[in-house]
Copies of this chain bind each other. A is one copy, B any other.
Amino acid sequence: MKVAVLGAYQTKFGELWDKSLEDLIAEAVFGAVEESGISIDKIQIGFVGNMLSAITAGQNHLGALLSEITNLSVPFVRIEAACASGGLAVAQACLAIESGQYEVALVVGAEKMTDLSSEDIAQALMSAASEQERQAGLSFPGLYALMAQAYMHKFGAQEKDLAEVAVKNHYHASLNPKAQYPFEITLSDVLQSNLVSSPLKLLDCSPISDGAAALILCSEDFALKVKKNPVFIVGSGQASDTLSLSKRASLTELLSTQKAAKKAFAQAKLERKDIDFLEVHDCFTIAEILAIEDLGFYPKGRGFEAAAKSETKLGGNLPVNLSGGLKACGHPVGATGVKQVVEVYTQLNHLAGERQLKGASVGLTHNVGGTGGTAVVHILRKR
């Protein structure tokens, strides 16, 4: 497959008290349109990834909101798949273009999370988990803590190995002006931060964030008329798994990630060694470790060594989460999967400033919903 990315835009991520969901969507959409160089009326279909606005703002029907914002009457579709809503919106836009019925698609992911209290947003996020998990009193830190405990027990990883992921991603975020936390932290900062759910401490967890990101995607034919050397999405893989963590065979691997990666690599006709850098779903530090293993870049049980060895840091063999990741760039859930593609686009166009990976030509994004009930992988390249 070959779907071009003509334009991309990310708003600042953070606690954006002065912006509404509508403001964030509008900024991202008009930003991506401007970057693309096409006029907005070339958009033929649009997808909006959002998880929580029904709960946080009593607002469903974001497709019609997008019609109002853009003043377009084309098809607009809201996609929801928990924290993978954004990545899935990208995947559906790719399908729409590949169907031959649409040449140009808008994708926007957005979430406004800080309007709820901590308790209420934690409860709202549990709508991504199963009824049984909610009834058991589990939270997402609790669910990922179970995965982390199982991983540490099985493979001998230590709490500091998890913490190294947070330190690395904060370093990357310190180079990213759009990041929610654009500053460095130390290993002892992480290890001494408040315990959330053992072994996960506050600084092992991604934050509650507001933000949006948008893309203009188009067919290869359309792209080559307007840009000389566009970035292309060359692989798009998606897979599902049980909603409940307890119904899976293993706590230490995500089958949905493995399957989505397999499909994306097959479509892209590329191998792991062809990938220069990754943006993966590090909602908790353990999640990045599982991701780089399940995506096939590290053997199962060895991913925890990557961050400590600086292999996944800018300057290493395989930089992971140059944006700062969910951990430090922020995690407005519906925006995350779209923002990952924005980051890869930015790197491939060598526009990433201080965090630019020299010679970046092929990048991969990996977005997860819940504890792995949904996973989406995209591979992007630029010659």
Contact = CB atoms under 8 A, between A and B. Distances in A.
Given A54-B55, A96-B95, A61 B242 contact: no
Interface string A135-176: 000000000000000000000000000000000000000000
Given A58-B134, A369-B61, A374-B76, A67 B126 contact: no
A138 to B, nearest CB: 13
A223 interface: no
A241 interface: yes
Interface string A363-383: 000000110011000000000
Contacts of A51: 60
A240 B58 contact: no
A65 interface: yes
B79 A91 contact: no
B370 A61 contact: yes
Nearest to A75: B238
Interface in A218-245: 238-244
B73 A240 contact: yes
Contacts of A63: 81, 88, 240, 369, 373-374
Nearest to A66: B240
A311 interface: no
A314 interface: no
Interface in A7-64: 51-52, 54-55, 57-64
A318 B142 CA distance: 58
A259 interface: yes
B240 A76 contact: yes
A68 B239 contact: no
Interface residues of A, number: 61
Nearest to A81: B63
Interface stretch (A98-106, A107-115, A208-216): A98-106
B74 A60 contact: no
Nearest to A82: B61
A128 interface: yes
Interface centre among A74, A127, A134 (most CB of B within 10 A): A127
B64 A242 contact: yes
A72 interface: yes
B81 A79 contact: no
Nearest to A129: B61
Contacts of A241: 64, 67, 73
Given A64-B241, A77-B238, 7 more contacts: A61-B127, A61-B129, A64-B369, A64-B370, A67-B243, A79-B80, A80-B80
Q: What 8 pairs across the A-B complex have the smallest Cβ distances? A: A64-B373, A67-B240, A75-B238, A60-B127, A98-B99, A64-B243, A61-B82, A99-B99
